[in-house]
Amino acid sequence: MIKILNRKLSQKITLFVLLILLLIISTMVLFSYHFFKDFYKEHLSHEVYEELRAYTSMVESGFDEEVISQFIIEKNRERHAHLVYFSPNFEMVYSSHPVSEEWLSQYKSWVKEQYKIDGETLAYVDTGIDFHIPHIWAYQPTYKGDDLNGFFFMDKDTGEFEKAKVKLFILLFSMGVFALIIGMILTLYLTKVISMPLIKMGEKTREIAKGDFDTKLTIYSEDEVGQLAEDIRVMTKQLKDYRDSKRQFISHISHDLRTPITYIKGYSAVMKDAPTVDDKEWRRNLEVIYNEAKRMEYLVSDLFQLTKLEEGKIALHKEYINIVPWLESIVATRQLMLDNLTIHCEVVTSNNEIVVSIDQQRLGQAVINILENSIRYTPKGGSIKITVSEQDNDVIIEISDTGIGIGKEDLPHIWERFYRVDKSRSRESGGSGLGLAIVKEIVEVHSGSVDVKSEEGKGTSFYIKIPKGVQ
C-alpha cells in the first residue's frame, strides 16, 4: 500500500485531503459538542438557581409554609428533582420526594459545608451510588428580617441534558461522517480530473523517450497542467528538430568527408599500383591529394570552431578600433577575387570615425564569410557595397550585392549547418556549408544580431548589428 501511495499522485492527494478533512471535521464536531454542552449546562444551572430564588422569595414574602410545601411537592413530584427545605438547625422541614437517611445526611453535610465556608451555591456532583449521571446540587438560604429562616436544597439529575448531549453528539458525528464521505467523493473526482491529464502526459513522454517524436499530445487548457502540456509539445518539437538536424548533419558530414577520402584513396592507390614512376602524373595526383586533404582540414576546422562558438568556449579579445578603415582593409584582401570578376566593392559611411569594441579576428571572419558569399553569387560586372551606419548605441554593417538573390523559402534556413540554397551546387563550387552558421554564432558572441533581406534576381543584403561599447 505504501509503495502504491509513493507512486500515485492521485492517491497521495486523496490521502492528504482526507486527513485534512478528518482533522477539520473532528475539530469542528468536538468544538460544537463542547460549545453546546457548556451552553446547555449553563442554561440548566441558571434554571435551577432561578427556581430556588423563586421559592426563597415566596418564603421571605410571608407565604404560608403549608401552602408553599404543597405547591413545591406538587410541582416537583413528576420531575427528576428532589427539593428539600431545611430548618436553620438543618432539620428537614418538608421534601418533594421521600429521601433516605443516607442521602439526607449527605445533603445536610454538603449544605453545612458550603454555607460555613460561604462556598458555591450550585455544583455538579457525580454521586456514584444510585445515579449513573451527574446531578446538580444547589442550595439557597432564606431569611426573615436579618435572621436565618432555613435552606432550600435541590438535587436535580441531568438526565434530560445527558440525553440531549448524546443526541447532539450523534447528530454532529453523523454530519461529520456525511461531510467526510462527500469530501472523499469530491476529492477522488478532482484528483482523477487532475491526474488523468498527467497520466496521459506520462504515457506520451515515455513514447517520446523511446524516440517517437511524432506522437501527439491533445491536452489544452489555460491552467498549470495545460502549460505543462504545451511545454512538452514544444520540447517534443525541439527534440524532433534536433534529431532531424543531427541526421542531416551526419548525412552532410559523411558526404563531405567521403568525397575527399575517396579522392585521396583512389589517387594514392593509382600511385601505389603504378608499374613505373611518372613525375608529371605523380605531381598531378599529389596535388589532388593535397587539395582534398586541405578541404578536409577546412571542414574539420570549421566544425570545431562552430562547436566551440555554440558552447561558448571561445574567448573574445576585444579592442576599440575605427571600423571604417578596418572594413576597407578586409575588402583589400579580397581585391584579387574582385578584379578577376570585375566586381566593384566599396565601403560607404557618413562618418569616418566610428569606434567600436570588437574581436578583429573573429568578427573579421564573419565579414569575410558574407563577403565571399556575395562575390561567389554576384555575376561579372556586378557590385558589392558595404555601408556602415550608427543607430543609438549600435553600429550596423550592411553588406549588399547585386547577385542572384535567395528564395523566400530558403531564407529561414540559411543559418543552418550545411544548408545550401543552390541544391545543385557541388562542394567544389562552394565552401563547407558552415559559413553563415559561423557568422551567426560570432555576431551573437559579440552580443549582436544578424539579419538578411533578399529578392531573387535582384540581390541580397546582410545586416550585422554590434553594440558600440561591449567590453
Residues of the chain with CATH 3.30.565.10: 319-467
Predicted local distance difference test score (pLDDT) of residue 399? 93
pLDDT per position as a tens digit, 195-242: 777 777 777 788 878 777 777 777 777 777 778 888 888 888 888 877
Q: Would the pLDDT of 471 be above 50? A: no
> Which of 50-59, 109-118, 458-467 is modeled with the greatest confidence?
458-467
pLDDT at 3: 46
pLDDT confidence bin for 453, thresholds 50/70/90 = very high
Query: Pairing relation of β-strands 81-86 and 147-157?
Result: antiparallel
The secondary element (H helix, E strand) that includes residue 148 is strand 147-157
> What is the per-residue DSSP string for 326-392?
HHHHHHHHTHHHHHHTT-EEEEEES-S--EEEE-HHHHHHHHHHHHHHHHHTS-TT-EEEEEEEEET
Among candidate residues 144, 74, 137, the one with its CA nearest the CA of residue 103: 137
Contacts of 228 (CB under 8 A, 6+ apart): 201
Q: What mean pLDDT is predicted for residues 160-178?
A: 73
Query: For the residues 428-452, what does the mean pLDDT come to?
Result: 80
Question: Picking from 263-267, 294-298, 325-329, 416-420, which range would have the lowest pLDDT averaged per residue?
Answer: 416-420
Which residues make up the CATH 3.30.450.20 domain(s) of the chain? 2-163
- Please list, in sequence order, all residues whose beta carbon lies within 8 angstroms of the beta carbon of residue 439, skipping any fewer than 6 positions away: 366, 369, 370, 415, 450
Q: What share of the chain in percent tops pLDDT 70?
A: 82
Exposure string over 349-365, b if 16+ CB within 10 A, otherwise e: beeeebebbbbeebbbb
Q: Name residue 204's amino acid.
A: K
* pLDDT beyond 50 at 6: no
Q: How far apart are CA 139 and CA 151, in angstroms?
A: 7
Place of cell 547577385: 403
Q: What is the mean pLDDT of residues 286-308?
A: 77
Return the SS3 of 464: strand
Q: How far apart are CA 94 and CA 66, in angstroms?
A: 9
What pLDDT shows up at residue 451?
94
The partner residues of 386 in beta bridges, in order of sequence, read: 347, 399
CATH number for the domain running over 2-163 = 3.30.450.20
Query: Residue 161: its pLDDT value, please?
Result: 66
| Predicted confidence band of residue 5 (pLDDT cuts 50, 70, 90) | very low
Return the CA Rg of the chain: 51
Is residue 129 pLDDT above 50, yes or no?
no
pLDDT band at 142 (very low <50, low <70, confident <90, very high): confident
Mean local confidence (pLDDT), 363-388: 89
pLDDT at 10: 61
What is the C-alpha separation between 230 and 217, in angstroms, rounded? Answer: 9
Q: What confidence tier does 74 reach under pLDDT thresholds 50, 70, 90?
A: low
Q: Name the nearest CA neighbour of 378 among 432, 459, 461, 464.
A: 459
Cell, residue 293: 586533404
Q: Write the CATH number of the domain with boundaries 319-467.
A: 3.30.565.10
d(CA 16, CA 72): 60
Q: Using alpha carbons only, what angle is made at residue 271 by residues 267 and 274, rounded to the nearest 5 degrees?
A: 130
Helices marked H in 61-94? 65-76
At position 333, the amino acid (one-letter code) is: T
Identify the residue with better confidence: 394 or 59: 394
pLDDT > 80? residue 354: yes
pLDDT at 425: 45
Where is pLDDT greater, at 254 or 379?
A: 379
Q: Give the pLDDT of residue 77.
A: 61
Q: Which candidate, 25, 16, 21, places its Cα nearest to that of 176?
A: 25
10 Å CB burial of residue 200 (0-12, 13-18, 19+) is middle
Q: What are the distances in angstroms from CA 304 to CA 300, 310, 316, 410, 434?
A: 6, 10, 16, 25, 11
- Average pLDDT of the segment spanning 70-91: 75
How high is the mean pLDDT of the chain?
Answer: 78
Q: What is the pLDDT of residue 401?
A: 92
Cα dihedral: 386, 388, 389, 395 (round 10): 120
CATH of 224-310 given 3.30.300.30, 3.30.390.10, 1.10.287.130, 3.90.1300.10: 1.10.287.130
Q: Are 421 and 407 within 8 A, CB to CB?
A: yes
Which pLDDT score, from 0 to 100, does residue 113 have? Answer: 86
Greatest mean pLDDT among 190-194, 321-325, 350-354, 410-414 lies in 321-325
Other Cβ atoms within 10 Å of 324 Cβ, number = 18
Predicted structure pTM score? 0.49
Calculate the CA dihedral of residues 426, 424, 411, 378 and round it to 10 degrees: 70
At 83, the pLDDT band (50, 70, 90 cuts) reads confident
Instruction: Specify burial of residue 367 (Cβ count, 10 A radius: 0-12, 13-18, 19+).
Output: buried
